[in-house]
Amino acid sequence: MLIHPKLAHLTAVEIQILVQEYYANVKVDTLINRFNISCTRGQFFKLLPQRLSGQTCPECATEMVFPRPSRNASLFVFEKQLHCPKCLKKPEILYKKRKLSPRPAKQLSDGASSKSLQNKHLTSNDLTIEQAIALQAVVAYSESNRRMTNARRVSGSRFLLLAPTAEYGKQLTLSLEDIGLLSPIEKDDNRSTSSSRINNQILVFGSRYEITEAVTQELIEDVQSRLLKFEWPDRWNDEICLVIFDLAFAEIKEFYMFCIRERNLPYVNEKRVTNLILNLLEDFSVAQCFHIIFRGAQSATDFMVRSNASPPYAINYLLSTCEKYAGRARASNKDLVPFTRNSNCPRSLISTILYSDVLKINDEGITTPILEVMS
């Protein structure tokens, strides 16, 4: 069993008690103080020991471990699954894995058209967990629009949002298009606009899609049952980390874009923005990342006014401020106050399906560091 250096002053019995009390829902702050551990609440879970497996990772040769599920994730992590702590958990590796993952072909290997793929009888076993969650969100989105034209007012938000950002939303819809569950509608499409067709159409960030005939009621119920009862295919357990990571990254990116647009700052230095978000996700929750970015945006605005700096220079100042603020918080073991969701960046249906319906942790999905949520 690996022991983190910050727990090295504890005996084996004390570590065992620490773990037992953590799962007994004793407050993390209480455990940190009682056992004299130098860390923040967000860092605490990563210190808990994991059991070594004696097997090495085929990708990076790191010794693989059996995970210790977080108490927040205990509702959906029932089996001790072998994984590589380096390849599975680190945000930058998850990001690279997502970027390098090839999209499935839109046509069958025998050259059949995508229409044939749509007519294939699909079951939940044919979908990735991302596609399963995205399908549930698209169906909920479509049904809400069908039931009421004033869905915005009823939902308590200015609009009903499928996904946090256009980039992420289109990624989800393309994933469903790839497997034949959605079909894009071209702007000059003259197909019938009967009420039944309109009810099967959705608008995602300016692009129209039609829900295909492959989305049967049987498929919807099958996917929903498998998700909610945790009767997951084995690969879904491996894929869920990518879904959690993608959503966290998208929500932080959305908030960053809102902050710079509100201050009329340009979106430049995309690579550094990406690296900042990946860095923050190592230790902080999504809501704490909101806090850091907001502080950085405020400081950048003040700096631009005081120094008469150009907007691109102010962006560099913003990113540097966020990096320094996060560094100070880590060095001082300071727990940052998590922000609530901004009304201009409302909760998306993807977030609701994932955190409330599937994982059943609600807002802990953004107030808990994602490394703990993924465990």
Count of structural domains within the chain: 3
pLDDT band of 208, cuts 50, 70, 90? confident
Query: pLDDT tens-digit profile of 280-299?
Result: 998 899 999 999 999 999 99
Higher pLDDT, 213 or 156: 213
Strand order through the sheet with 182-185: 182-185, 207-211, 201-204
> Which residues make Cβ contacts (< 8 Å) with residue 315, sequence separation at least 6?
260, 265, 266, 268, 269, 300
Higher pLDDT, 277 or 143: 277
Q: How far apart are CA 164 and CA 245, in angstroms?
A: 13
pLDDT band of 81, cuts 50, 70, 90? low
295 and 342 belong to one structural domain: yes
In a domain, 224, yes or no: yes
292 and 335 belong to one structural domain: yes
In a domain, 314, yes or no: yes
- DSSP letter (8 states) at residue 163: S
Average pLDDT, integer, range 117-126? 72
344 and 253 belong to one structural domain: yes
Q: How far apart are CA 284 and CA 46, in angstroms?
A: 12
In a domain, 109, yes or no: no
Q: How far apart are CA 229 and CA 223, in angstroms?
A: 10
Reported as half-sphere exposure (CB side, CA atoms, 13 A), residue 284 has a value of: 30
220 and 132 belong to one structural domain: yes
In a domain, 161, yes or no: yes
Domain carrying residue 350: 244-367
300 and 221 belong to one structural domain: no
User: CA 374, 231, 180 angle in degrees (round to 5)?
Assistant: 90
Output Rg (C-alpha) for the chain, integer angstroms: 23
Of 228, 252, 287, the position where a domain reaches its end is 228
Of 228, 258, 285, the position where a domain reaches its end is 228
170 and 135 belong to one structural domain: yes
pTM: 0.72
Alpha helix locations (H) across the chain?
12-23, 28-34, 41-47, 85-89, 91-100, 114-119, 129-147, 151-154, 166-179, 195-199, 217-228, 234-262, 270-281, 286-307, 311-331, 349-351, 364-367, 370-373
Amino acid letter, 255: F
> Which residues make Cβ contacts (< 8 Å) with residue 192, sequence separation at least 6?
none
Q: What is the DSSP string of 258-276?
A: HHHHHTT-----HHHHHHH
In a domain, 357, yes or no: yes
User: Is it the case that residue 113 has pLDDT exceeding 70?
Assistant: no
In a domain, 236, yes or no: no
In a domain, 100, yes or no: no
